[in-house]
Each structure stands twice: as C-alpha cells, then as structure tokens.
Amino acid sequence: MDLDYFSDMHEGPWRAAAVVGVSALIFVAVALLLHRAGIMLLRRIARNRPYTTNAIKYGYRASQLCMVLFALRLVLTGAPENMPLLLPISRINSVLLILSLSWLAIACVNSIKSTITTLNPVDAADNLRARRLLTQTAVLTRSANFIIGLLGLGFVLLTLPGARQFGASLLASAGVAGLVAGIAARPVLGNFIAGLQIAFSQPIRLDDVLIVKGEWGRVERITGTYVVVRIWDERRLIVPLQWFIENPFENWTHTSSSILGTVFLWLDFSVPVPAIRAEFERITHASSRWDKRVCVLHVTDADDRGMQLRLLISAQDSGTAFDLRCEIREAIIAFVAANYPDSLPRLRPVLDAPGPQEDSLGKRPTHVADSPAP
C-alpha cells in the first residue's frame, strides 16, 4: 500500500494524520497476523529440535514487537511531510525498532544458553564435558550480550542529531580525557579479555574444585568480571577474573573429577604391618565411597619414635575422597587400639637411669672417694 498520494490531496494536515493513523492500525494488524502465522509455521518445522524451539520461545515477544515497529516504519516512510509530529514520531519509531532488534538478538543468544544448559546437566556422574560447555556458554553469552547492547546503543545514538554532535565533540577533545578514560577502563577491559581467555582455554569451569588463597571450594558462578567460589563452610570467595590468568592456583578437577586421598598414621615399630594392610584393604573394599581404583599401604617414613604409614585410596570426587579418608582413619585407629594397643605411638623413657654418682655404664667414678662406714 503506497501512501504517497496523501501529499497530493488537498486535505488538512490533521486529516492526513488521521488517515495515516488508520493505515498504521491496518498495517499493525497485518503484521501481527503474519507474525502469528510465521510462528506457527516455525513451530511445526522446528518440532523435536531443541535449539529452534527455544529460540522461538525466547524470541516470541521481541519478534512480535519488531514486526509491529517495522510496519509502522513503512507507514511513516510514506506519510506526507506536512503531517504534524512526523519527525519526532519517526525518530522514536527508529529508536524503538533498534532496541527491539537488540532485544531479539539477546533473546536468541539466551535461548542458545538455555538449550545447552538443558542438554548438558551437571548432576551426572561424569560431568566434565557438561561443565566445560556450560562455562564456555556462560562467558560467551555474557560477552555477546554486552556487544549486542553496545552496538544497539551506538545505533540509537547515531539516529539522534544531538548525540552525533556529542560524539564528535568527544572525538575532537580526546587527548587527556581519552587517556584518563583508557586508564579507568583498563580493569574492565582486562576482566573482559580474561573472561574470553577462560572461556576458550578453560583453566576453570563451573563446579570445579579449587584451592584459592588457601581455601577449598567449588566454582559456583562465573560472571563477566569475577568468579564466585563456594567455600566448604558455605562462605563465598569473590575473585576477579583476571586473577585466575595472572596467578597460580590448584584445580582438582581440571581433567577428571576422580582424585587420590591419603591417610597418614604414626605407629610404633612393633605394629604388624601385614595385619594393618589386610584390615585396610577389607575396610576399603567394603566402603561404597571407594571407586575401586587405588588401595595401597606403604611405610613411608620412620624416626626415633615410630614409623609413618601412608594409606592411599581413590574416590570419584574430592568430597567423597574426604569422607572416605575420615572413614578409614577412624576404622584403622579403632582396629589398632583394640588389637595392638601397645603399638600406638608412645614415648620410651629410660627406666634404669644412672644415679648421681654413676656414669652411663653404672660404674662409680674413680675419683669419688667412698664415704666411711658409720
């Protein structure tokens, strides 16, 4: 429908505005019908396809608004120039259309994140691949949303003459202001780049077990600027993203969630090591926390008071390994106390200590005279 004929009519501007308004209602109604028909067709085509289904679900409202604003854009393009308030209405429509397109792009990006999260649950036994994908998705989604929002804001400012002049003045007066802005933005840009590095190289992932600044915890959340580490006692450690790029830290689940645990015991030399080893293997094989990989006992050290036994066991994750270590330590100590109490660590005092006038061999010094008999 062409509205150029409005300019040839000898009608008043307000009457032309009324005709444009009626035409806008018709165009909006047609746009809504087309949107509904398109959504129904896409749902039929995208059946049993999770990515497309989620994209339709997340982008429904945004795409509907885009269709309405695009229809109004067509009407305003063909409206007569003498129509009242044509210029401000056209600018408002352009701004809203840019914002709705940005909203639609962000909704599509979020739909991809939601689909990946649904298809890769982290509550599985072996969730290494799922945590890797979710970490990449979380960081890249935030980065994409930030870029989309930045581009949308830039296009909005370009449609406003005042904003274009303001941008030109900022470029003309860059100098010191640009230097100050660059220095001020350095931490933000550093964290942004660190987030991209973490997304691709993945030194950490969601639900990874870390030792950060001497604290044991799990990665609970990765944002665009910091990482939330949930400490074992329910505290939260907030660490900037850039810190993980510039500092060393321990990651207990970088390649696998399985881990080895150790129990160290100091016992007397008289303890029968084969009996302790047999009891250790019996306890370990009977425990549901053991993953049936490693179960080894070695005498790893000795000093003048006793010997050190290292009981090495394996488990499917660090939390289970800690519980298994406690279980084995408690059982072995109880076994030794019940069956070999004399083999527990103890001090050996010298019972036959020499007297004040005897040397270490029990002989009296030759220079000490015998006291006369009474």
3-state SS assignment for residue 204: coil
For residues 35-63, average pLDDT: 85
3-state SS assignment for residue 346: coil
Is 80 in the same domain as 165?
no
Domain count, the chain: 3
pLDDT band at 277 (very low <50, low <70, confident <90, very high): very high
Q: What pLDDT score does 182 carry?
A: 47
Is 127 in the same domain as 248?
yes
| 127 domain residue, yes or no | yes
Class of residue 8 by CB neighbours under 10 A (exposed 0-12, middle 13-18, buried 19+): exposed
Taking CA atoms, 174 is separated from 163, 178, 181, 263, in Å, by 16, 5, 9, 63
Is 339 in the same domain as 263?
yes
Structure tokens at 27: 């165009």
Distance CA 284, CA 297 (A): 11
pLDDT at 34 over 50: yes
Q: What pLDDT score does 173 carry?
A: 43
The pair phi, psi for residue 99, each rounded to 5°, is -65, -40
pLDDT at 364 over 50: no
Q: What pLDDT score does 349 carry?
A: 63
HSE (side-chain half, CA atoms, 13 Å) at 127: 17
Q: What pLDDT score does 369 carry?
A: 42
Distance CA 79, CA 233 (A): 67
Bigger pLDDT: 288 vs 168: 288
Q: What pLDDT score does 41 carry?
A: 87
Q: Which of 167-176, 179-188, 317-326 has the lowest mean pLDDT?
A: 167-176
- Output the average pLDDT for the chain: 77
Distance CA 231, CA 372 (A): 77
Is 238 in the same domain as 128?
yes
Q: Are the C-beta atoms of residues 118 and 50 closer than 8 Å to each other?
A: yes
Distance CA 82, CA 16 (A): 9
Q: Which of 250, 214, 253 has its CA nearest to residue 232?
A: 214
Kindly report, residue by residue over 136-153, the tens digit of the pLDDT. 788 788 878 888 887 887
Kindly report, residue by residue over 1-17, the tens digit of the pLDDT. 444 544 444 456 667 67
pLDDT band at 331 (very low <50, low <70, confident <90, very high): very high
For residues 237-262, average pLDDT: 83
Taking CA atoms, 335 is separated from 110, 277, 290, 328, in Å, by 57, 11, 19, 10
Is 251 in the same domain as 266?
no
pLDDT at 164 over 90: no
- Helices 86-119, 60-77: axis angle to 10 degrees equals 160
Is 127 in the same domain as 161?
yes
Domain that holds residue 10: 1-119
| 24 domain residue, yes or no | yes
